[in-house]
Amino acid sequence: MTGSVPLLSLEEVHAHYGKSHILHGVSFHVGRNEVVSLLGRNGSGRSTTMKAIMGLVPPTGGRIHLMERDITGARPYAICRAGVAYVPEEREVFHNLTVDENFRMGEQPAAPGATRWTVEDMFAYFPRLKERRHTKAGNLSGGEQQMLTICRSLLGNPQVILVDEPTEGLAPKIVTAVGECIRDMHRKGVSVVLVEQKLAIALKVSTRVCVMGHGRIVFEGTPQQLASDEKLLADWLAV
C-alpha cells in the first residue's frame, strides 16, 4: 500500500442475521486499482460481507472505511453515493424500462479525475445489449439482465464496485465478456471486489485473493500463491 490510505478497508467486521452470528471479524482492504476476489465455499459469508459493506446487513461490530470516511452501518444509498456500487447475485433491472432507459437510470457524473464510462463502452463489451437497446428489460434473458446490471452499476462511475457471482448461469461466451469487462474496470482504475465461483476466472482477473471460511478470512495472498497451495485449495475451496 506504500503508506497510503486504502480505498476500502474492513477491520474486524461482525454481522448477524437475527441471532445467527455470520461474520466473525472480517478484515481486509482494497487498494486503488485492485481486483480482490473473495473466495470460499457456499455459505462461507462472501455475500454477507458485501452486504455489510453496502449497509444492507448492518455490521454488529468492527469498522468499514471508504478512504478516511467511516461508512460503517451507513444507509445503502449514502454508501452508493459515496462511490461504492453493488451488483448483487440476484439481477436487478427495472423490468418495465428498456435497456436504454435502464442505462439512463444508472448514469451519474464521474467524480473529478475519476473514470467516465459511457453507454458506448457498455455496447462494446456486450453488443447483444445494443441489439436489444429498445427492448424492455423484463423481456431479456437472465444473461442479458446480468450484463445490464453490471453496465448500469458502471455507468454510476463508482470508485469501487462489488460484484457477486456475475458469471453464475451464463453461457461461456458471456462469461468471457464479463471477465473482459472486469479486467477493463481494473485497467481503467476502478477497484473491484469480486465473488466468483469459477476459480480459473478469479485467478485470472484478481490482483489479490482472500479465502473465506466460517465467516472469517483464512488466507490472503496473490492468485499465484493460492493456485500453488494444494492444501489450502483442498481445505477451503474444494467441494
Ligand X SMILES: Nc1ncnc2c1ncn2[C@@H]1O[C@H](COP(=O)(O)OP(=O)(O)OP(=O)(O)O)[C@@H](O)[C@H]1O
Residues found near Mg ion in the complex (CB under 5 A): 47
- Of the pair 128, 166, the CB lying nearest Mg ion is at 166
- Distance CA(40)–CA(42), nearest Å, equals 7
* Residue 22 contact, options Mg ion, ligand X, none, Cβ 5-8 Å cut-off depending on partner type: ligand X
* Residue 191 contact, options ligand X, Mg ion, none, Cβ 5-8 Å cut-off depending on partner type: none
- Distance CA(86)–CA(96), nearest Å, equals 21
- Distance CA(138)–CA(160), nearest Å, equals 27
* Residue 43 contact, options Mg ion, ligand X, none, Cβ 5-8 Å cut-off depending on partner type: ligand X
The yes or no reply on residue 40 touching ligand X (CB under 6 A) is yes
Q: Using CB under 6 A, which of 9, 26, 39, 46 touches ligand X?
A: 46
- Distance CA(3)–CA(62), nearest Å, equals 22
Smallest distance from ligand X to CB 1, Å: 26
The most distant pair of C-alpha atoms in the chain lies apart, rounded to whole Å, by 50
The yes or no reply on residue 43 touching ligand X (CB under 6 A) is yes
- Distance CA(180)–CA(147), nearest Å, equals 12
* Residue 157 contact, options Mg ion, ligand X, none, Cβ 5-8 Å cut-off depending on partner type: none
Candidates 3-11, 41-49, 102-110, 183-191; binding stretch for ligand X (CB under 6 A): 41-49
Residue type, 162: L
The yes or no reply on residue 47 touching ligand X (CB under 6 A) is yes
As given in the structure block, the three cell numbers for residue 150 are 453490471
Locate cell 477451503: which residue?
236
Q: What track of x and - describes contact with ligand X for positions 9 through 38 (by CB under 6 A)?
A: --------x--x-x----------------
Q: Which residues are bridge partners to 84 per DSSP?
A: 160
The yes or no reply on residue 239 touching ligand X (CB under 6 A) is no
Smallest distance from Mg ion to CB 3, Å: 34
- Distance CA(173)–CA(217), nearest Å, equals 32
User: Three-state DSSP class for 106?
Assistant: helix
Q: Which residues would be at the binding site for ligand X (CB under 6 A)? A: 17, 20, 22, 40, 42-48
